[in-house]
Amino acid sequence: MSYGDRKSQRVDFRRGIDVYMMGIDGTWRRSCTMIDVSQTGARLFVEGSLEGLDLKEFFLLLSSTGLAYRRCNLVRVAGDQIGVQFVDKDPAKKKSLTRQPAAETA
Q: What is the pLDDT of residues 19-78, one digit of tens each?
A: 999 999 999 999 999 999 999 999 999 988 888 888 899 999 998 887 999 999 999 999
Residue 91 confidence (pLDDT) above 80: no
CA–CA separation, 97 vs 90, rounded Å?
A: 11
The domain limits of the chain are 11-96
Mean pLDDT of 84-98: 70
Task: Write down the CATH number for the domain with range 11-96.
Answer: 2.40.10.220
CA separation for the pair 62, 69 (Å, rounded)? 5
Which pLDDT belongs to residue 102? 58
Q: Residue 19's pLDDT is what?
A: 95
Question: E strand or H helix at 69, and its extent?
Answer: strand 69-78
**Could you tell me which residues come within 8 angstroms of residue 101 by beta carbon, excluding any fewer than 6 positions away?**
none
